[in-house]
């Protein structure tokens, strides 16, 4: 996704921000949430969004931090140093109350390598098979980090969304554990909600809501410097 072009220097893209993920569905969500249609601002046109598709030979960052924030920082910093670009990285996952926070930082590879959404969902359903509905509370969590081209972390934000793990998969939308994560107020899973509604409720949306004003301030500082 690229920001709209403009002829005047005041509105021309100021930085190219590479999204530090090869998950295209996640990158699509991230690009939408940097400049959401319900909160459009002029400063958003100063950012040109890129992806790791432009860097096919870039090695994968080993996500070995003990928490989401640590993995987000590591991905942002290492990818920035490797590309020489500003990088926005996230680490996110599902924490289930009855499983003492699992799968947590192992959410993407819960069922092993290579990562497989359906296998992960099946394993989670099996792990919770004997758990009563009232004890199936869970939270999606997201940590964001922005690194400058020298690998320095300049911005961080996080967010979470509470819900419940149901006993079957419902809906074709989203990715990962979305079809089994129920939002009780809507009586629908993330897989059933429209993208617009999900973007306004999700852990990633809430993290970006914290990040956007900080990103706006950073853009202003870069423009004036």
- Positions at the binding site for substrate: 21-26, 92, 175-178, 198, 203-204
By C-alpha distance, which of 114, 118, 90 is closest to 26? 90
- H or E element in which residue 48 lies: strand 47-51
90 is catalytic: no
DSSP lists the bridge partners of residue 153 as: 147
Question: Cα-flanking dihedrals φ and ψ of residue 102, to 5°?
Answer: -70, 155
Beta strands in the chain (DSSP E): 15-19, 47-51, 86-96, 137-147, 153-165, 181-183, 188-189
Q: Which of 45, 91, 117, 158 is catalytic?
A: 91
Structure-block tokens of residue 191: 């897989």
Binding site: residue ranges? 21-26, 91-92, 175-178, 198, 203-204
DSSP lists the bridge partners of residue 188 as: 183
- Using DSSP's 3-state secondary structure scheme, residue 167 falls into coil
CA distance 41 to 43: 6
**Catalytic residue ranges:** 91
């Amino acid at each position: 996704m690229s920001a709209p072009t403009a002829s005047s220097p005041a509105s021309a893209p100021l930085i190219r921000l590479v999204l530090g993920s090869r998950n295209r569905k996640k990158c699509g969500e991230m690009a939408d949430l940097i400049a959401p249609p319900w909160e459009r601002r002029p400063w958003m046109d100063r950012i040109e969004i890129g992806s790791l598709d432009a860097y096919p030979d870039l090695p994968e960052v080993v996500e070995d931090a003990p928490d989401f924030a640590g993995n987000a920082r590591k991905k942002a910093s290492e990818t920035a140093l490797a590309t020489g670009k500003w990088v926005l990285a996230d680490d996110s996952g599902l924490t289930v109350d009855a499983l003492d926070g699992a799968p947590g930082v192992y959410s993407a590879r819960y069922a092993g390598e290579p990562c497989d959404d359906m296998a992960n969902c099946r394993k989670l359903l099996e792990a919770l098979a004997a758990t009563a509905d009232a004890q199936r509370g869970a939270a999606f969590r997201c940590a964001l980090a922005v690194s400058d081209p020298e690998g320095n972390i300049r911005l961080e934000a996080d967010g979470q969304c509470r819900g419940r793990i149901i006993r079957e998969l419902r809906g074709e939308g989203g990715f990962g554990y979305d079809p089994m994560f129920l939002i009780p107020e809507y009586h629908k899973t993330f897989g059933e909600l429209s993208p617009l509604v999900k973007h306004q409720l999700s852990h990633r949306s809430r993290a970006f809501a914290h990040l956007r004003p900080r990103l706006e301030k950073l853009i202003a500082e870069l423009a004036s410097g």
